[in-house]
Amino acid sequence: MNVLVTGGCGFIGSNLVKYLRRERPDWKIVNLDKLTYAGNLETLADLEGDPQHVFVRGDIGNRELVEHLLVQHSIDAVMHLAAESHVDRSILGPEIFVTTNVLGTQQLLEASRARGVKRFLMVSTDEVYGSLGPTGAFTEVSPLQPSSPYSASKTSSDLIALAYHHTFKMDVVVTRCSNNYGRYQFPEKLIPLMVVNALHDKPLPVYGDGANVRDWLHVEDHCQGLLVALEKGRAGEVYNIGGGSERRNIEIVKGILGLLNKPESLIQYVADRPGHDRRYAIDPAKIRAELGWKAKHTFEEGLADTVKWYVENRAWWERVTSGAYRQYFDTQYKTR
């Protein structure tokens, strides 16, 4: 089997490429990534010289390039993860979110249709459903009510992918998963940002009252869910993937400080994210019943392992947090 993974140098993509190399050693993985600020080829340094992993720097919106790769490598399936992924950035500058997530995805779908790709896995998000009240959980038939430019762009790409199934009979499967955490996450997202700031004894910026809830999923569990959906999912279906680990942001921040033996006085409440979704929770009953998938990691064990990894891999995040990231971070702070 030859698989095109898009965004394979990002957080989930790099974990997925490594996971596939371990779990499906005979597969060839072609990794198409533009290497934006979020893409880091160094993360895949241990795959250097691996003939089953081919890295190509390029844009999913470059149809000619994509079609060339699909033919050159006789690609059977596409796992589409490349995206602009950060909600705060989409508030500062929505345009690239539409360009990459909406237009880029459509070009990728069109190229895949033209070249007869047998299965297209669209990696979407639970943010398509918008925000929940204090109870209940998103199912695959919950209304789509995205709030941010990021989630609206992901909803668009998710629906375009489904439209390619309905209209052109393309074999498309969509997964919508909750907040991932784990190794190699760019330190702009809640967990790695808080770990890195705490290690520098810098303030930990908690938005609003810190009581927003996310449903955390270990990235390895997500990768397993993606593989199961790719291999066994039914064409035209949507599968929610969730960790069953709802936590308030402030609990997580305090947990990280506890693991690092740092004082809670580092916590700084800051202005809320505009349009901040209050709560996400996933009902994963469908993927469990149909495909037999279930999250294996507990949040406490996974968080401890992740924090330990950041402590032990300072060189990775120190390189990542230079340059463009720092510039972005300064802008973020000036606008709050």
- Hey, which residues are catalytic here? 126-127, 150
Is 147 an interacting residue with respect to ligand DAU (CB under 6 A)?
no
Question: Between residues 117 and 152, which has the closer beta carbon with respect to ligand DAU?
Answer: 152
Q: Which of 119, 183, 214, 297 binds ligand DAU (CB under 6 A)?
A: 214
- When computed from its CA atoms, the radius of gyration of the chain, rounded to whole angstroms, is 19
Is 73 an interacting residue with respect to ligand DAU (CB under 6 A)?
no
Residues in touch with ligand NAD (CB under 6 A): 6-7, 9-13, 32-36, 38-39, 59-61, 81-83, 85, 100, 104, 123, 125, 154, 177, 179-180, 186
Tokens representing 265 are 């006085």
Comparing CA positions, the residue from 232, 214, 182, 252 lying closest to residue 13 is 182
Look-up: residue for tokens 């009240």? 133
Q: How far apart are CA 203 and CA 265, in angstroms?
A: 8
Report helix, strand or coil for 80.
strand
Q: Which of 15, 101, 107, 125 binds ligand DAU (CB under 6 A)?
A: 125
Task: Choose the stretch contacting ligand DAU; rule: CB under 6 A; options: 39-47, 82-90, 218-226, 231-239.
Answer: 82-90
Residue 34 interacts, among ligand NAD, ligand DAU, none and using kind-specific CB cut-offs from 5 to 8 Å, with ligand NAD
Question: Between residues 47 and 126, which has the closer beta carbon with respect to ligand DAU?
Answer: 126
Comparing CA positions, the residue from 256, 203, 180, 254 lying closest to residue 11 is 180
Which amino acid, one-letter code, is at 179?
N
Q: How far apart are CA 184 and CA 197, in angstroms?
A: 16
Is 127 an interacting residue with respect to ligand DAU (CB under 6 A)?
yes
Q: Which residue, judged by CB position, is nearest to ligand NAD in the bound state?
A: 10
**Least gap, CB of 259 to ligand NAD (angstroms):** 20
Is 249 an interacting residue with respect to ligand DAU (CB under 6 A)?
yes
Look-up: residue for tokens 């209050």? 278
Residue 59 interacts, among ligand NAD, ligand DAU, none and using kind-specific CB cut-offs from 5 to 8 Å, with ligand NAD
Alpha helices, H only, the chain: 11-23, 63-72, 87-92, 95-97, 105-114, 149-168, 190-199, 219-232, 249-259, 285-291, 299-312, 314-320, 324-335
**Least gap, CB of 82 to ligand NAD (angstroms):** 3
Q: How far is CA 109 from CA 100, 112, 165, 177, 272, in A?
A: 13, 5, 10, 20, 36
Q: Which of 102, 172, 206, 303 binds ligand DAU (CB under 6 A)?
A: 206
> Residue numbers of the site for ligand DAU (CB under 6 A)?
85-87, 125-127, 178-179, 189-190, 193, 205-207, 212, 214, 249, 273, 280
